[in-house]
Amino acid sequence: MTSTATTSLAATDRGAGEPALVFLPGWCGDRTVFDELVVGTSERRRALSVDWPGHGDTPSTTRDFTTADLVDRTLDLLEQAGVQRVVPVALSHAGWVALELRRRLGSERVPALVLLDWMVLGPPPPFLDALEGLQRPESWEQTRAALFDMWTRSLDIPPLVDYVAGMGAHGFDMWARAGREIASSFRTEGSPLEALGRLDPPPRTLHLYAQPGDAEVLTAQQEFAAAHPWFEVRRLDARSHFPMFEVPEEMSVLVEQFVASLP
């Protein structure tokens, strides 16, 4: 394993071979969420995971930053690392970064995307309310606590509990920024599936998720996949919104099978 602190982003870099995988964490979480996936997938190809500014080992910045800045930083990292072809593997709302990487680099350099536990059909109204709550000084802590409870309630998964607790180290500025940027992306792009469908051509896309467990959510994605062959979905047998803490071996195999199937 190689861990590097570059002028762009701190990163873990393992394995060899392309297309490489670049693992992108969600807001207010660091790259350790991907540790098991990086180990598993790097047996057959290069795998990198990154920390966003002010997260993990990437230093904080005194200025505000946006999703576009995260895209620029990731592009810098890929250039410094000498990565030519890459498949972004994005957790939750880092999917917006993955989508923009495809726009910026094109289909030759970004032949596919892997999305992990994202609202690909679009956000439900209560979640949009939560994004607003994160941006208000008087309500952000209560909103964050509700999210943490939803992610950990009745789940005896120590790595998950520890990871979510670590997310609590971020204060109002970062959580408000997360709420603002996620809400802005949904307003601008619509649902992730709509946004992906507008790319020319749409990228081969695999969505791996565990929650929600509602059959209707899976059926809607399967129906979309039947009408749009570039999209695939697989619901994992896991209980949390962070299935990599429960079934990392299965996820590593599914990601590798998907990437190995690319032309």
Examine the residue annotation and report whether 93 is marked as an active-site residue of this protein: no
Please name every residue paired with 231 in a beta bridge, in sequence order, or none if there are none.
205
Residue 125 CA to residue 59 CA, distance in Å, equals 34
Residue 120 CA to residue 217 CA, distance in Å, equals 10
State whether the Cα torsion 214-219-220-224 is positive or negative: positive
Classified as helix, coil or strand, 195 is helix
Among residues 96, 95, 9, the alpha carbon closest in space to that of 55 is found at 9
DSSP code of 32?
Answer: G
Classified as helix, coil or strand, 139 is coil
* Helical segments of the chain, H only: 35-41, 67-81, 95-109, 125-134, 140-152, 158-167, 172-189, 192-198, 215-227, 248-260
Parallel, antiparallel or unpaired: strands 2-5 and 10-14: antiparallel
Instruction: Give the residue numbers annotated as catalytic, written as ranges.
Output: 241
